[in-house]
Structure 1
Amino acid sequence: MNYHSGALRRSLFLALSALAHPVAALADSTQDTAVAGPVTVLPAVTVSADKVDRPLEKVPASVAVIDGQDIEQSGITTMEQLEGRIPGLSFQPFGQAGMEAPVMRGLTAGIHSYASSMLMLVDDVPTMMAQGFENSFLDVDRVEVLRGPQSTLYGRNAEAGVIAIHSQPMDEVSRATVSTDIGSRDKRELRFALSAPLVADTLYGSISGAVLKQDGFIRNTYTGGKDDDRDHQDLNMGLRWTPSEATDIVARYVRQDYDDGATRWGNVGDPRAKVASGTPSWNHSLGQTLSVNASHELDSGLRLRSITAYNDYHDDVLQDTDFRPAQTLYIGRDNHMRTLSQEFRVEGQMGRADWLVGLYGDRGDNDLRNFTLRSPTFYDYRANLKTSSVALFSNWNLPLTDAWTLSAGARVERMTAAISPAGGTHKSEDWEYFSPKLTLQYQFNPQNQWYITAGRGVRAGGYNVFVSTLDYPSYAPEEIWSYETGFKGWVLDQRLRYAIDTYLMKIDNMQVQVQVQPAVGLIYTASAARATAKGVELDLDYLLAEGWQLLGGLAWNRTTYDSFQDGTASYAGNYNSFAPKLTGHADVRYTAPNGWYAQAGVVGTSKIYLDPANRYERNGYGLVNLVTGYRKGDWEVATYANNVANKRYDAVGYNAGYYTVYSPPREVGLRLTWRK
């Protein structure tokens, strides 16, 4: 059955109608509700959207938050599961673990641009490309998603927003969690998290990890097996040192190891989820990060902060692309990408105003290799891509009166890219960006505010590192001006938290995929389009009655090309690739006093186009997900069903019409958790 934009609307309506026949809930992850008594107000939420801790309702920006309890009970263990759960956020359908290209407010970046339209921060460690844009959400305190340009504070590659993942703190509280999960397709998963003080008031440590094995669902009729098995290992380690009350130093190491089978691809027109591949396909990628986050508060009240991070990702993949027994077509990647970044900043207060000034720099060293067999010819493309940037930024929050606040910030950044292709000529180019932002906020009563903001976002320029026939052409930075206004706050005696905003973005030098003369059939990235994006976003968290809670959100976006000439074809008026009109979710939860809980929800998006000509598409979908469980003492058992109706939302015609990216089928399972 084909689901388009109406699918999400119908699914959201059905989920909301479930209020008349409640079937869902959420258990308290820290205390027994029978002891704690009924919850009558929603809990306060603190975020650090502007690098300063503030209540969610006080931040003059579009921010969505999922706390660790919600993540754990909803079974969110991959970045892709945030699609729709954060209205406005989705991902390009690619089908390979560890490779996620985000889409926010209609903006996204190509896989081979080695840049991203959104920045991912995991405990302040940046990931700026689709390669390694993944997280297993181990021992997470909360996930903050900032929608809209954040280039002023976070630089290039935050033009559409930021996903900030915050781990549980290391402190005097000892914690231990072990969880096992068995499910469909012989799924076996073990997750654990431990945190404890090592030396009282001085040294703390944490370790968490996960091991996942699961059979695939794409049948290989040639080998008789399943091609897309999944085998992941994750490890996070942390150490915190507080030599004094004024000094705090946190070191972290994170490792993501993949030993997977094939990408979830097949031929367009072939029977669904069936291949006859004679070429073994695999993903042996490995990601590692190491970081040190240090802060010190001076006697004057100034706070100094230093964030040093090293990110290393090895993208190691072989993929059959004819899906036939004979070895005639395949592609492979052997890319090694390394980024070292350093941020220094000073934070302080001046009367009622708070401010920060920072200096940021990074250096990337990427050894890139793409190879392909197009029988009888084997092509091997190699290049080294070096990048560097340095930036100075500042942000001020200035109360004008008791009700009015002005926030102003600016960033000046210089970025250099240099390519050294094998057998080619070394080339380099640099760009300078200025990214200002101005926000006016009106607190019309203590619990509700209105804001209006204007700002500039930038995505880095770069090189087409594998397009030798056109001498490795460069493309310019993508630039946007964004205008946004919104309301947010509490109503109904703090039982309903809401946020609604609307925005308009004008995009210049839009980085798009083009196919032009003189190399007919050659597809590469160029700054060849102008576009307009506009939309509305809504988030709700409603405490309906004792034990009952409704969470929901909906985002509407329309991103179309104002001008885009691809050879003789004009795509003016077409929709941007991978940008859905609608994304959203609705969840109803119920917590019983005796420890039982249940949750029912729907999440989905409308259809997306896979190419600028809008010829190929992935149909829209609405997925129903169910969880029910029981908690007693330190133990919890839960059953779950994801994609209950087994909806299919394959991307048919991915990569200029060549492939189908298969959507995963229904999954049911049992999860047993012990926590202390």
Structure 2
Amino acid sequence: MPINQLEKKMDFGKKMVFAFCVGSACSIVPATSWCSEDEASVTMEMPEMTVTANKIEEDVQDVPQSITVVGEDILEEKGIEGVPDLIREIPNAFYSPGHGNSVNFRGLNTSMFTSNNPVVIYIDGVPYSRAYGFDASLVNAERIEVLRGPQGSLYGKDAIGGVINIVSKEPTNEFHGKVGAEYGSFDYKQGLLNLNGPVVKDKLYFGINGWYEQDDGWIENTYPGMEVDANRQRNHNYGAFLLFKPTERFNVRLNISNLYNKLYLEDGYALPGGSVAGDFSRDDAEKVSYDTETYSEIESNAQSLHLSYDFDALTVTSVTTHRTLTTEGDWDADFGDDPLWAGLVMFDDAETDTWTEELRFSSNNPEGFRWVGGVYLDTEEHETGPYGMQMPFNPFTYALEDWEYNAESISDSKTYAIFGQVMIPLVTNLELTLGARYQHIEKEIDLDMYVLPVGTSGSPAFHLESEKTWDVFLPKAALSFGITDDWKTYFSFSKGYMPGGFNYFSSSGTAEDNSFEPQKSTNYELGIKGSYKRLNLSASAFYMGIEDIHVYRSPGGGIYYTGNADKAHSRGAELEVTYFPTDSIELSGALGVIEAEYDDYDDGAGNVFDGEKIPQTPSHTARLGIAYYHPNGFYTRTDLYNQGAVYFYNDANKSFDREGGHTLLDMKVGYRSGGMDVYAYGKNLTDEEYVDGLRANSSAAVATFGDPRTFGVGAQYRF
């Protein structure tokens, strides 16, 4: 970005800070609910929050597990636009932009060569777990339920860490919707549209929604002839649905969606191999010199057909989904402008085609004995290639000439599962939950590795063809006790599972050398939740034993391998509180503390990491929010987020680099009248500098940073 433009944006930022200080002089923070122009006051009594976490509608306080529920108003007020923003709301969760959208949850990390996140997104029945395309539109969301802990006995696709269940709004016989736009720092632009309504009243409904954003980024590429805005990005998320209700008992819903992300350069830079996290500075990242265009492009198209028939005693539901995910990317091979590496790139193209079917049966009892059961099938074809890297020397003779590694592979996987759960009242206020899942997984791979001069063709240097199957039984049990009508305590036990797989970048070794086993967890949780007048509280303590935890190493420079560490553990506590001291003020907060360590980890190359912290697991996460809403329509909110120290694995040094904690301050002020909302906001107001991702091997270390201070204004109209 040219310096004169940057100075103008900073002047704009100073004025915004002044406006925030004036607008928040008497009360420091934000609003939580909409008010019509006829309303003289807002009453913030504690509402009963109904969720479908157990596939049965019930009060969130009655569900014997940890759940974070985020409603539509909070999504809008906090500017939560996608899943990466949402992760910050969840105790003991961490988001990193490396290798797609990677999530750490209670010490569980993304698996590199399956790309599975430990948390599965569900939206309109479509499950998303791959790190690439791990996002969803929230424009039509009524609420989001984040279920912590394994969910294999309730959801078709297994989730070792938890589920993000996005519940969309149901249309009515009246047209409803919203339209909005924002403009902010670094030429940030955003637009959104949501419209739901009837085609034939009581019978046929439709909905469309869309969200688009772009910005020029905060990194400047100084290399002559290259685009100056190095980390610019363009993103959109569009969706539509048709809902047909031929009878009061029968529902048919068809959903389609399209997600697209294109990011030019990561939000960071590279240093030579052997560098550690402490060597990086965001100031140094603001100007880079790349001689080759670097970009990552992701597109996802999904369709789902949801059929539901309500019998007197039970409801039968079928959810059929199809999703294609296409990724394409080129990266400057030396992360710089070394003439020896001029024009050489790393590249990663892949296409994934997935079909799923979930057939579920659930009782219609609102209380007493309740049950859920079903079967699940998914089939996936993942085609990788070209996938590799170029280098300015012959890897066999080390002569100076351009060569490349390129892995081309097709891998197929199938999952068959049966799952179920029952809730059994024992005596007054005491209830037992029993659940289980049995699943069978088949995977196979056909891979060719080519090592050839750039621009030539030839026979593969290495071929891998292998298949594996895994069977697993995953039990679950929970006992909940109602202390009073408003307070409940619970204890739960469950098993979790993340599938194994194959190394997509194999260049030597046997089939066994290039595969890794499933990751398994044993989970214990003790919790309490309840409400008292204007207070809502939930607290829990957990312990997780982890076996065959997925890890990676890079013995050959830029070539990564996934393997298994024998044992690890994670233990911690979580607290979430919401309190309304007056009818116009809301206080909310959450705290998560955690210790996650390897207990038995020998990498097979003479390095023992017993006692080391599991990477990308913050020692704690904490958030505090204050919201104020005046009867005349003025509102303001302030949110603080604090994250403790986090470790990143540095394969060049066989070490775990520590990144210190940081605190972020966000604010928003606005005015609502009728359906109109006009507002201004600031994010990271103290301009905190922090590393949120690190990949390091003997070739290079690449660090990414959280966004600097930004400001913006926006308007939204609901109808």
**Contact 2:44 2:584 survives alignment (8 Å):** no
Matching of residue 237 in structure 1 with residue 240 in structure 2: yes
Of 49, 73, 78 in structure 1, the residue corresponding to residue 82 of structure 2 is 78
**Contact 1:577 1:614 survives alignment (8 Å):** no
**Contact 2:92 2:620 survives alignment (8 Å):** yes
Cα deviation, residue 36, structure 1: 6.2
**Contact 1:619 1:651 survives alignment (8 Å):** no
**Structure 1 equivalent of residue 96 of structure 2:** 92
Q: Deviations over 1:601-632 (max 9, x none)?
A: 11232121111754324432211000000011
**Structure 2 equivalent of residue 6 of structure 1:** none
**Structure 1 equivalent of residue 708 of structure 2:** 665
Distance 1:20 1:454 in 2: 48
TM-score (norm 1): 0.92
Q: How does 1:114-129 map to 2 (within 5 A)?
A: 114-129=115-130
TM-score (norm 2): 0.87
Partner amino acid, structure 1, of 2:233: R
Question: Cα distance 1:404–1:274, how it changes in 2: closer, same or farther (>3 A)?
Answer: same
**Structure 1 equivalent of residue 357 of structure 2:** 342
Of 381, 388, 393 in structure 2, the residue corresponding to residue 365 of structure 1 is 381
Distance 1:652 1:338 in 2: 29
Query: Which is worse superposed, 131-140 or 37-46?
Result: 37-46
5+ residue gaps, structure 1, are 1-18
**Contact 1:344 1:360 survives alignment (8 Å):** yes
Of 267, 282, 299 in structure 1, the residue corresponding to residue 295 of structure 2 is 282
**Structure 2 equivalent of residue 391 of structure 1:** 417
Distance 2:689 2:619 in 1: 19
Matching of residue 629 in structure 1 with residue 667 in structure 2: no
Cα deviation, residue 522, structure 1: 5.2
**Contact 1:317 1:333 survives alignment (8 Å):** yes
**Contact 2:333 2:389 survives alignment (8 Å):** no
Of 310, 331, 334 in structure 2, the residue corresponding to residue 319 of structure 1 is 331
Distance 1:624 1:590 in 2: 17
Distance 2:237 2:294 in 1: 22
Q: 1:149 is paired with a residue of what secondary structure?
A: coil
Of 519, 522, 532 in structure 2, the residue corresponding to residue 481 of structure 1 is 522
Matching of residue 547 in structure 1 with residue 584 in structure 2: yes
Question: Cα distance 1:526–1:161, how it changes in 2: closer, same or farther (>3 A)?
Answer: same
Greater Cα radius of gyration, structure 1 or 2? 2
Q: How does 1:283-322 map to 2 (within 5 A)?
A: 283-298=296-311, 300-322=312-334
Cα deviation, residue 174, structure 1: 1.7
Q: Deviations over 1:76-106 (max 9, x none)?
A: 1132212332212211342x7xx21111111
Question: Cα distance 1:297–1:349, how it changes in 2: closer, same or farther (>3 A)?
Answer: closer
Question: Cα distance 1:44–1:62, how it changes in 2: closer, same or farther (>3 A)?
Answer: same
Partner amino acid, structure 2, of 1:372: M
Cα deviation, residue 374, structure 1: 1.7
Matching of residue 562 in structure 1 with residue 599 in structure 2: yes
**Structure 1 equivalent of residue 260 of structure 2:** 257
Q: 2:108 is paired with a residue of what secondary structure?
A: coil
**Structure 1 equivalent of residue 454 of structure 2:** none
Cα deviation, residue 575, structure 1: 0.5
Question: Cα distance 1:653–1:397, how it changes in 2: closer, same or farther (>3 A)?
Answer: closer
**Structure 2 equivalent of residue 401 of structure 1:** 427
Count of equivalent residues: 649
Cα deviation, residue 454, structure 1: 0.4
Q: Deviations over 1:268-303 (max 9, x none)?
A: 3672232211111122321111001111012x4221
Q: 1:569 is paired with a residue of what secondary structure?
A: coil
Cα deviation, residue 648, structure 1: 1.0
**Structure 1 equivalent of residue 8 of structure 2:** none
Partner amino acid, structure 2, of 1:68: E
Distance 2:373 2:111 in 1: 32
Cα deviation, residue 311, structure 1: 1.4
Distance 1:403 1:465 in 2: 52
Matching of residue 109 in structure 1 with residue 110 in structure 2: yes
**Contact 1:33 1:593 survives alignment (8 Å):** no
Distance 2:344 2:617 in 1: 30
Distance 2:48 2:492 in 1: 25
5+ residue gaps, structure 2, are 1-23, 272-278, 393-401, 449-459
**Structure 2 equivalent of residue 608 of structure 1:** 646
**Structure 2 equivalent of residue 4 of structure 1:** none
Query: Which is worse superposed, 464-473 or 245-254?
Result: 464-473
Partner amino acid, structure 1, of 2:702: Y
Distance 1:168 1:451 in 2: 31
Q: 2:153 is paired with a residue of what secondary structure?
A: helix
Q: 2:61 is paired with a residue of what secondary structure?
A: helix
Question: Cα distance 1:652–1:146, how it changes in 2: closer, same or farther (>3 A)?
Answer: closer
Partner amino acid, structure 1, of 2:572: G
Matching of residue 413 in structure 1 with residue 413 in structure 2: no
Distance 1:287 1:521 in 2: 27
Distance 1:132 1:360 in 2: 22
**Contact 1:618 1:652 survives alignment (8 Å):** no
Distance 2:439 2:37 in 1: 51
Distance 1:225 1:244 in 2: 58
**Structure 1 equivalent of residue 494 of structure 2:** 455
Q: How does 1:489-508 map to 2 (within 5 A)?
A: 489-491=530-532, 493=533, 495-508=534-547
**Contact 1:151 1:457 survives alignment (8 Å):** yes
**Contact 1:124 1:164 survives alignment (8 Å):** no
Partner amino acid, structure 2, of 1:665: P
Q: Deviations over 1:385-424 (max 9, x none)?
A: 1111000111000111221000000000000111011252
Query: Which is worse superposed, 150-159 or 392-401?
Result: 150-159
Q: Deviations over 1:330-376 (max 9, x none)?
A: 31111101110000011125782011220000000010121211222
Cα deviation, residue 537, structure 1: 0.4
Matching of residue 583 in structure 1 with residue 621 in structure 2: yes
Cα deviation, residue 24, structure 1: 1.2
Partner amino acid, structure 2, of 1:417: K
**Contact 2:320 2:356 survives alignment (8 Å):** yes
Partner amino acid, structure 2, of 1:411: R
Distance 2:173 2:240 in 1: 17
Distance 1:431 1:615 in 2: 32
Question: Cα distance 1:598–1:563, how it changes in 2: closer, same or farther (>3 A)?
Answer: same
**Structure 1 equivalent of residue 172 of structure 2:** 171
**Structure 1 equivalent of residue 612 of structure 2:** 574
Please tell me the root mean square deviation across aligned C-alpha atoms, in Å. Answer: 2.0
Cα deviation, residue 40, structure 1: 4.7
**Contact 1:155 1:411 survives alignment (8 Å):** no
Query: Which is worse superposed, 429-438 or 365-374?
Result: 365-374
Distance 1:575 1:220 in 2: 36
Distance 1:70 1:575 in 2: 33
Question: Cα distance 1:352–1:291, how it changes in 2: closer, same or farther (>3 A)?
Answer: same
Distance 1:265 1:524 in 2: 24
Question: Cα distance 1:36–1:307, how it changes in 2: closer, same or farther (>3 A)?
Answer: farther
Q: Deviations over 1:557-578 (max 9, x none)?
A: 1110001012211100000111
Partner amino acid, structure 2, of 1:276: S
Of 475, 484, 487 in structure 2, the residue corresponding to residue 445 of structure 1 is 484
